Amino acid sequence: MEWGPVILTLQLAAVTTAILFVLAIPLAYWLSQTRSRIKPFAEALVSMPLVLPPTVLGFYMLLAFSPNNAFGEWLDDRFGIRLVFSFSGLVLASVLYSLPFMVHPIQSGLSALPQALSEAAYVLGKSRRTTLFRVLLPNIRPAMLTGIVLTFAHTIGEFGVVLMIGGNIPGKTRVASIAVYDEVEALRYMAAHGYSLVLLGISFGTLLIVYLVNGGYLKRFSP
Amino acid sequence: MIDIRIRKNLQSAQGRMDLHLDMSLAAGQFVTLFGASGAGKTSTLRMLCGLMTPDAGHITTTQKTWFDHRRHINLPPQQRNIGYVSQDYALFPNMTVRKNLEFALDKKQSGTIVDELIDIVELGELQYRKPGMLSGGQQQRVALARALVRKPDLLLLDEPLSALDREMREKLQQYILDVHRKYQLTTLLISHDVGEIMKLSDRLYEIQDGRIVREGTPADIFGLGKSSARFRFTGEVTGVQKADIVYIVTLRIGHDQVKIIADPSEAADLQPGDKVAVASKAFNPVIRKI
């Protein structure tokens, strides 16, 4: 077993989580406030990765970004970006695939806050932005932590979408979950064990953090 | 001077209601909105704040127009400079008492007002606590102080004392009266409590099903102005008993149970639950329904 795929997995999870955190806050805020008619459509799109087979998402992204296609060719010619079989492609796929895991906790956290809080801030002359950052978000810290950790853990657990769009290129797109598959195919069970145990540990550890913090367990032991 | 003329179709628990208000608040006045729940009082305050949009009419102050249906003016709450204490106080749980007040400061405003207000409502010892650690009366004081930080043109109080016990109410009524006078506020209060209204307000509007049915000074409306009483209490009838040729009326006034003798004509239209005023002229107490 090598550490390369594990480090790549952690990098992918960290970058994806960071991007999604920034993207999800305005999206979740909009979903929690809007009465627009397109809200159900937006919500269905955000939730789709929960039910869609990852291979389907990966397949369409592969088609869209392939340099043999008009859009992929344009990206390549214009910006020199090739999203197929590259780390940036993996990041984009992961962002789409983990979107509900970040948006849902933040959205439900915001919806659960009493409307009177934001109204009080508006009457005190504060803009929507100030209200969001100084009143609403600080009061949903547990929901934000849940979003961050679940996104991180879910990205670590990705397989299908990564395999479709990234392939299995060592050092570029060969993440730990794919390495397990690869080693098993080659009948190298010891190496597969190594990756599997590391993944098991990381997944359990991250989820444990959520439940320890949100359950108030850590607070009980601090003065 | 704030001139209010608004219409709004409301969906309430009792069905549709057409709120139709026409009132004006003179600068420096303490005005009370009185009426049964569901009469449209809270909706009125929310429309003054800009949290709810009237269907028609206008709201104008001496300086600017807050709302005018015909001219398509509807200032957002941020631009109305209102102090609003809602029924549930809506304190920010993530901030300490002091931070709650400081949050309300305008960008260029000096922070001295925060110290001043903390002093007035006597929250100095609690200023670094979070609202979750405070009692109802303390939270109410924080909400009141926070609403005053921006020196509002209009202070709106939505039954701020209804959740508190009588002793705390009386203390807080004094705080409200003090700040109303000190900052020369125009204040609009929603209240059900006759004693509270008598103590605080200069003018009273009674609302029923979205319309103003009576307006005047509290003494006029509660019929207390005409007697030249030496003393006067308001209370609630808890029982009426016949004893020989007179009736004994039991009243709850504040914490006390009081028995008063009434003649049959007085007792005839009194029933448990009625609000009454008891006044005494020299020797004999006069009991009158309000």
Cβ pair B92:A114 closer than 8 A: no
Cβ pair A121:B92 closer than 8 A: yes
Q: Are residue B118 and residue B262 in the same domain, yes or no?
A: no
- CA nearest to A106, candidates A33, A194, A196, A191: A33
Check residue A221 and give its pLDDT: 60
Q: CA of B50: which chain A residue's CA is closest?
A: A123
User: Does B226 map to a domain?
Assistant: no
Check residue A190 and give its pLDDT: 92
Check residue B225 and give its pLDDT: 54
Which of B47, B74, B84, B148 should one mutate to test binding to chain A, selecting the residue with the greatest count of A CBs within 10 A? Answer: B84
Q: Are residue B208 and residue B148 in the same domain, yes or no?
A: yes
A-contacting residues of B 213-272, CB under 8 Å? none
Given CB atoms, is B150 within the 8 Å cutoff of chain A? yes
Q: Are residue B282 and residue B179 in the same domain, yes or no?
A: no
What mean pLDDT value characterizes chain B? 87
Given CB atoms, is A216 within the 8 Å cutoff of chain B? no
Q: Which residue among A123, A125, A135 sits closest to B92, beta carbon to beta carbon?
A: A135
Phi, psi of A119 (to 5 degrees): -60, -40
Range of the domain at A65: 4-221
Q: What is the pLDDT of residues B8-26, one digit of tens each?
A: 998 877 778 889 999 999 9
Phi, psi of A2 (to 5 degrees): -110, 160
Mean pLDDT of A197-208: 92
Is the model's pLDDT at B193 over the cut of 90?
Answer: no
Check residue A66 and give its pLDDT: 84
Query: Domain boundary at B221, B241, B261, which?
Result: B221
Check residue B288 and give its pLDDT: 74
Mean pLDDT of A123-152: 93
Q: Are residue B235 and residue B124 in the same domain, yes or no?
A: no
Q: In A, which residues are within 8 Å of B106 by CB distance? A: 125
Q: In B, which residues are within 8 Å of A127 by CB distance? A: 78
Query: Domain boundary at B175, B190, B221, which?
Result: B221
**H-only helix segments in A113-188:** 115-123, 128-131, 141-156, 160-166, 176-185
Cβ pair B150:A124 closer than 8 A: yes
Given CB atoms, is A127 within the 8 Å cutoff of chain B? yes
CATH code of the domain containing B178:
3.40.50.300
Distance CA B276, CA B290 (A): 5
Q: What is the pLDDT of residues B69-90, one digit of tens each?
A: 999 999 999 999 999 998 889 9
Q: Which residue among B84, B94, B103 sits closest to A123, beta carbon to beta carbon?
A: B84
Q: Chain B closest CA to A222's CA: distance in Å?
A: 18
**Could you tell me the pTM of the whole model?**
0.81
User: Does B152 map to a domain?
Assistant: yes
CATH code of the domain containing A87:
1.10.3720.10
Q: Which residue among A117, A127, A138 sits closest to B90, beta carbon to beta carbon?
A: A117
Check residue A204 and give its pLDDT: 92
Q: Are residue B279 and residue B187 in the same domain, yes or no?
A: no
Is the model's pLDDT at B210 over the cut of 70?
Answer: yes
Check residue A140 and give its pLDDT: 93
Q: Are residue B26 and residue B97 in the same domain, yes or no?
A: yes
Residue type, B207: I
Q: Are residue B108 and residue B161 in the same domain, yes or no?
A: yes
CATH code of the domain containing B273:
2.40.50.100
How would residue A223 be classed by pLDDT, with cut points 50, 70 and 90? very low
Cβ pair A119:B90 closer than 8 A: yes
Is the model's pLDDT at A1 over the cut of 90?
Answer: no
Range of the domain at B251: 231-289
Q: Are residue B115 and residue B246 in the same domain, yes or no?
A: no
Domain count, chain B: 2
Cβ pair B86:A120 closer than 8 A: yes
Domain count, chain A: 1
Query: Domain boundary at B173, B199, B221, which?
Result: B221
Check residue B209 and give its pLDDT: 85
Q: Are residue B245 and residue B156 in the same domain, yes or no?
A: no
User: Which residues, listed in sequence order, are joined to residue B253 by a DSSP beta bridge?
Assistant: B256
Q: In A, which residues are within 8 Å of B139 by CB distance? A: none
Q: Left, alpha or beta for B30 (phi > 0: left; psi -120 to 50: alpha)? A: beta
Q: Chain B closest CA to A143's CA: distance in Å?
A: 14
Q: What is the pLDDT of residues B152-161, one digit of tens each?
A: 989 999 988 8
Is the model's pLDDT at B137 over the cut of 90?
Answer: no
Given CB atoms, is B48 within the 8 Å cutoff of chain A? no
User: Above pLDDT 90, what percent of chain B?
Assistant: 38
Q: What is the pLDDT of residues B26-47, one digit of tens each?
A: 999 999 998 888 788 889 999 9
A&B contacts, CB < 8 Å: 56
Given CB atoms, is B53 within the 8 Å cutoff of chain A? no
Check residue A19 and give its pLDDT: 97
Check residue A68 and give its pLDDT: 82
Q: What is the pLDDT of residues A70-90, one digit of tens each?
A: 888 888 888 877 788 888 889
Is the model's pLDDT at A222 over the cut of 60?
Answer: no
Is the model's pLDDT at B213 over the cut of 80?
Answer: yes
Mean pLDDT of A9-17: 94
More confident residue, B211 or B15: B211
Q: Chain B closest CA to A129's CA: distance in Å?
A: 13
Check residue B258 and give its pLDDT: 85
Q: Chain A closest CA to B15's CA: distance in Å?
A: 23
Given CB atoms, is A191 within the 8 Å cutoff of chain B? no
Phi, psi of B230 (to 5 degrees): -80, -45
Q: Picking from A46-55, A140-149, A196-205, B234-243, which range would have the lowest pLDDT averaged per residue?
A: B234-243
Q: Are residue B43 and residue B120 in the same domain, yes or no?
A: yes
How would residue B100 be classed by pLDDT, with cut points 50, 70 and 90? very high
